[in-house]
Amino acid sequence: MSSPDAGHPSSAATDSSRRTVVLDAALATFARFGYRKTSMEAVAQAARISRPGLYFLFSSKEALFRAAVTQALERDIAAVELVLADTGRPLPERLLEAFDQWAGRYIGPLARDVAEVIEANPDLLGETAETAPRRFEELITDAIAAQTGRAGALAVAQTMISASIGLKHQAPSREFYLERLKVAIDLLTR
């Protein structure tokens, strides 16, 4: 049985693309104004859709926030998986890029606000607030273990993550973060 849209771009793909654009606009708006001060109207304007159209996609501001952060975290994890899978590159180089994808892109004025909004509202995120960081730790641990063996890989991964968190809070720029994290990774992978 043929659908009436046969031969036309999939409306599901169009809906998915529109949803992605809306969620990206929402995350930027939440970062700019904070969760409490962000209105559905502000997100609708940023996403260039009507407010009723936004409510059609997301029943509440909480659902919108959760979906926007979940999309960002899933995108980050997918990028980390891709980077770490490239075993033709040296491990320290892959680790640095993986941390850049996970945390480095959130350093800087607007990016820092995104991280702060996420950290300030963990109750809104549900299990995503725990599963994404746990998955990141697993990926880093597995990449280290593949090169050095299982013994000690988890401790090294957790130490790198701790160094990243500390640097993230004191880094004035992404470049500073990456320079310092490179030193930590080099020391930990010797």
- pLDDT at res. 113: 61
**C-alpha to C-alpha distances, 102 to 61, 106, 117, 178, nearest whole angstrom:** 25, 8, 16, 12
Q: How far lies 3's CA from each of 12, 15, 18, 77, in Å?
A: 13, 17, 21, 35
Mean pLDDT value across the chain: 87
Scanning the chain, the segments in alpha helix (DSSP H) are 11-33, 40-47, 51-57, 61-85, 91-102, 109-120, 122-125, 128-148, 153-170, 174-188
Judge whether residue 60 has pLDDT over 90: yes
pLDDT of residue 111: 59
Q: Is the pLDDT of residue 123 over 90?
A: no
pLDDT attached to residue 108: 67
Report residue 35's pLDDT band, with 50, 70 and 90 as the boundaries.
Answer: confident
What average pLDDT does the segment 124-136 reach? 85
Residue 106 is predicted with a pLDDT of 79
Residue 138: the pLDDT is 97
The average pLDDT across 116-140 equals: 82
| pLDDT value of position 114 | 64
Q: What pLDDT band is residue 2 in, cutting at 50, 70 and 90?
A: very low
